[in-house]
Amino acid sequence: MFLEVIAGSRNPMLFIRDRLYVMLSKLHHYRTVKKANVYLALIVVSLPGDVERPGSVLRLLSEFQPAITNGLLRVMQLAMTEADTASLYVQDSLP
């Protein structure tokens, strides 16, 4: 399993689509040569305060439907709350 986490509203969709295509192409070749069961887990994170663009995620799902059908791509959406993002910050206790 390979993991890619993206912020759904902060990245240009053209960049994400091209990068995703390259990753899936490499995984497909690896799967073919090694006869391994590999897939890319794409996690689309929406942070508090971000402008929601559900159409962009739906567009990605439709454009990469063959990869999803073949089991090469799995897409998950994760909506974080203010409390979730606050817990990500670590307080340093250095003297």
d(CA 91, CA 83): 15
Q: What's the mean pLDDT in 13-17?
A: 80
| pLDDT tens track for 18-51 | 999 999 999 999 999 999 999 999 998 888 877 7
| pLDDT tens track for 49-90 | 777 666 777 888 899 999 999 999 999 988 888 888 878 776
Q: Note whether 6 and 43 are within 8 A (CB).
A: yes
To which residue do tokens 């069961």 refer?
A: 37
d(CA 1, CA 71): 11
Indicate the SS3 state at residue 78: strand
d(CA 89, CA 68): 34
Structure confidence at residue 91 (pLDDT): 63
Structure confidence at residue 10 (pLDDT): 63
Structure confidence at residue 11 (pLDDT): 63
Structure confidence at residue 92 (pLDDT): 61
* Model confidence band, residue 16 (pLDDT cutoffs 50, 70, 90): confident
d(CA 18, CA 61): 14
